[in-house]
């Protein structure tokens, strides 16, 4: 994938300017940021959503356990 109007740097592949990258024809899950240093995820890649889910699953699990324990009266919240 090279730069230009059809490559990853084309503005039409960056939704809301630079907020996120969505290009189904790009096989890479992680791509360089359009500006500055760092990397970003290709939201059109099928494995990206599994990765994002794996990152948030522990957080959601802990929050749900706290919510259920609080509702059952096992934990008292000050």
Q: What's the pLDDT at 77? A: 60
Which residues does 35 contact at the CB level (< 8 Å), separation at least 6? 18
CA torsion angle 32 33 38 39 (round to 10): -50
Q: What is the pLDDT of residues 46-78, one digit of tens each?
A: 898 898 899 999 999 999 998 888 877 766 666
pTM score, whole prediction: 0.59
Which residues does 29 contact at the CB level (< 8 Å), separation at least 6? 41, 42, 45, 47, 48, 51
Q: What is the pLDDT of residues 1-33, one digit of tens each?
A: 444 445 666 766 767 666 678 888 888 888 887
**Domain boundaries of the chain, sorted by first residue:** 1-44, 50-78
33 conformational bin, left if phi > 0, alpha if psi -120 to 50, beta if neither: beta
Q: Which residues pair with 39 in a beta bridge?
A: 32
């Amino acid at each position: 994938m090279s730069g230009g109007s059809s490559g990853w740097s084309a503005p039409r592949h960056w939704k809301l300017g630079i907020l996120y990258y969505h290009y189904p024809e790009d096989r890479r899950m992680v791509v360089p940021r359009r500006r500055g240093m760092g990397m970003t995820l290709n939201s059109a890649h099928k494995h990206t959503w599994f990765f994002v889910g794996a990152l948030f699953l522990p957080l959601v699990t802990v929050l749900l356990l706290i919510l259920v324990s609080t509702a059952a009266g096992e934990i008292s919240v000050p």
